[in-house]
């Protein structure tokens, strides 16, 4: 069995005509990791995956696997496995032949092919489906076959292009666990492309956030989730509340106090700001605390506008006294028109550089 890769390294630029899809997108990762390219549609994440697979040529740049330059190899010589969003099974072939296809091309003996296909069908929990045609399977089953078809060749790197986005919500969670199980138990190196941050956080060892063909932030999921470095990444990670401000005071231990739009907010930052710099304070709706003394720091008075019932909690939209909107998620149930005091806990407020605030609505 071919081992998985030790390292993947690339630096690529891709232009379609005058449109730049990937701008000097560079990454270096170790093997046996689960890496996710995360970003909104059109950010170039699928293009990057296709370039690694060899299906699209890069305009500039190189891709290296284990120190070997593979940029000019055609896809069939790269030894990578790929799973597509729409499954891409061969509709005129049975499940067996679909999975056996790659082994047949390698001219393996018939009994080996049979054994390996059977193993794969058991691994993806579809035994006894070998004589069905793809059209006779559900979406989830088709995606299992597609995964089996890629894994049966023991690819040194597995590429998954939004494999779950055509499935319904329940199945998506099931398959997500399934993919994680296969990745771990087979000791694979996987690159997974998605626009869903929950998928990215739950699956990955390493998350790469992209926007407009540019790498915005990379790191372990906890770091991306808790310490986004830009407003874009913060917005993507569920920081719903953004307050433009200017730095008023810098304290020890990364403490920051900023003033903007009539609000004086305290929080933390990872950035080296100077006094007077334009920043954005950000906090997640679920980190806002309802109730407290309006005289305390980071406490503000507001009026409830809209309440949405979400089951275990309510999402409430408040208008603060200065006119800013604040999203709050809490179990407390309020009524539109209520006057309340909210606290933005200081260790939950992060300060980010102001550029890019235009994207936040």
Partner 1 sequence: MRRGRPGEPSELDLMAIACLLPSFLYVLVMFVYPFFYGVFQSLHPLKVDGFSLANYIAFFSDEYQYKTVAITFRLAVPNTIIVVAFGLLFAYSMRRGILLERTITTILVLPISLGVILLSQGILGFYGGKGWLNQMLLGLGIIEEQLVLTHNFTGVMLSLFMQQFPFCFLMLLGYISGIDPSIENSARTLGATPWTVFRRIMLPLIAPGLAIAFALVFVMSFATFPSAILLGQPTGATRTIAIAAYAQAFEMFDMPYASAIAVIMGLFQLAGLLVIILLRKRMVTAATMGVGKR
Give the footprint of partner 1 on this chain (CB under 8 A).
Answer: 50, 53-55, 74-76, 78, 80-82, 84-86, 88-94, 96-97, 100-106, 110, 113-114, 117, 146, 149-150, 153, 159
Nearer to partner 1 by Cβ, of 103 and 349: the residue is: 103
Least separation in angstroms between residue 198's CB and partner 1 is 25
Least separation in angstroms between residue 329's CB and partner 1 is 38
Least separation in angstroms between residue 181's CB and partner 1 is 22
Nearer to partner 1 by Cβ, of 96 and 243: the residue is: 96
State how beta strands 34-38 and 190-194 pair: parallel
Nearer to partner 1 by Cβ, of 91 and 251: the residue is: 91
Nearer to partner 1 by Cβ, of 112 and 296: the residue is: 112
Distance CA 333, CA 42 (A): 38
What DSSP character marks residue 4?
P
Q: Which residues contact 174 (CB under 8 A, 6 or more apart)?
A: 140
**Tokens standing for residue 286:** 């679920």
Least separation in angstroms between residue 135's CB and partner 1 is 13
Least separation in angstroms between residue 173's CB and partner 1 is 24
> Helix or strand or coil: residue 249?
strand
Nearer to partner 1 by Cβ, of 117 and 234: the residue is: 117
Least separation in angstroms between residue 189's CB and partner 1 is 15
Residue 255: burial class (beta carbons within 10 Å; 0-12, 13-18, 19+): middle
Distance CA 281, CA 234 (A): 10
Please tell me the total number of residues recorded for the chain in this structure: 361
**Tokens standing for residue 145:** 């076959």
**Sign of torsion over alpha carbons 301, 303, 308, 311:** positive
Distance CA 175, CA 180 (A): 8
Least separation in angstroms between residue 90's CB and partner 1 is 6
Nearer to partner 1 by Cβ, of 96 and 300: the residue is: 96
* Residue where the block lists tokens 């200017």: 246
Nearer to partner 1 by Cβ, of 71 and 86: the residue is: 86
Residue 23: burial class (beta carbons within 10 Å; 0-12, 13-18, 19+): middle
């Amino acid at each position: 069995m071919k081992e998985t890769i030790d390292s993947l390294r690339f630096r690529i630029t891709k232009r379609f005509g005058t449109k730049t899809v990937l701008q000097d997108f560079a990454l270096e990762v170790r093997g046996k990791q689960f890496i996710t390219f995360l970003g909104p549609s059109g950010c170039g994440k699928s293009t990057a995956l296709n370039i690694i697979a060899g299906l699209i040529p890069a305009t500039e740049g190189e891709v290296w696997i284990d120190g070997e330059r593979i940029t000019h190899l055609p896809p069939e010589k790269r030894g990578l496995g790929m799973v597509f969003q729409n499954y891409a099974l061969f509709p005129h072939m049975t499940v067996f032949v679909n999975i056996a296809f790659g082994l047949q091309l390698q001219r393996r003996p018939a009994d080996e092919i049979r054994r390996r296909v059977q193993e794969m069908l058991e691994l993806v929990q579809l035994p006894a489906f070998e004589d069905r045609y793809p059209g006779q399977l559900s979406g989830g089953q088709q995606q299992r076959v597609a995964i089996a078809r890629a894994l049966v060749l023991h690819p040194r790197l597995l590429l998954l292009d939004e494999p779950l986005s055509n499935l319904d919500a329940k199945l998506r969670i099931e398959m997500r666990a399934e993919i994680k199980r296969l990745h771990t138990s087979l000791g694979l190196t996987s690159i997974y492309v998605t626009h869903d941050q929950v998928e990215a956080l739950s699956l990955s060892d390493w998350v790469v956030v992209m926007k407009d063909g540019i790498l915005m932030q990379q790191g372990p999921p906890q770091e991306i989730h808790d310490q986004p470095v830009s407003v874009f990444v913060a917005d993507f990670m569920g920081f719903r509340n953004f307050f433009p401000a200017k730095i008023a005071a810098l304290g020890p231990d990364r403490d920051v106090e900023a003033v903007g739009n009539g609000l004086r907010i305290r929080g933390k930052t990872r950035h080296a700001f100077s006094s007077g710099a334009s920043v954005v304070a950000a906090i997640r709706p679920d980190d806002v605390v309802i109730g407290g003394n309006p005289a305390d720091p980071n406490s503000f008075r507001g009026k409830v506008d809209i309440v949405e019932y979400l089951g275990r909690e309510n999402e409430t939209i408040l208008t603060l006294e200065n006119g800013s909107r604040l999203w709050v998620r809490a179990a407390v149930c309020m009524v539109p028109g209520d006057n309340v005091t909210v606290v933005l806990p200081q260790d939950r407020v992060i300060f980010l550089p102001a550029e890019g605030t235009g994207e936040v609505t």
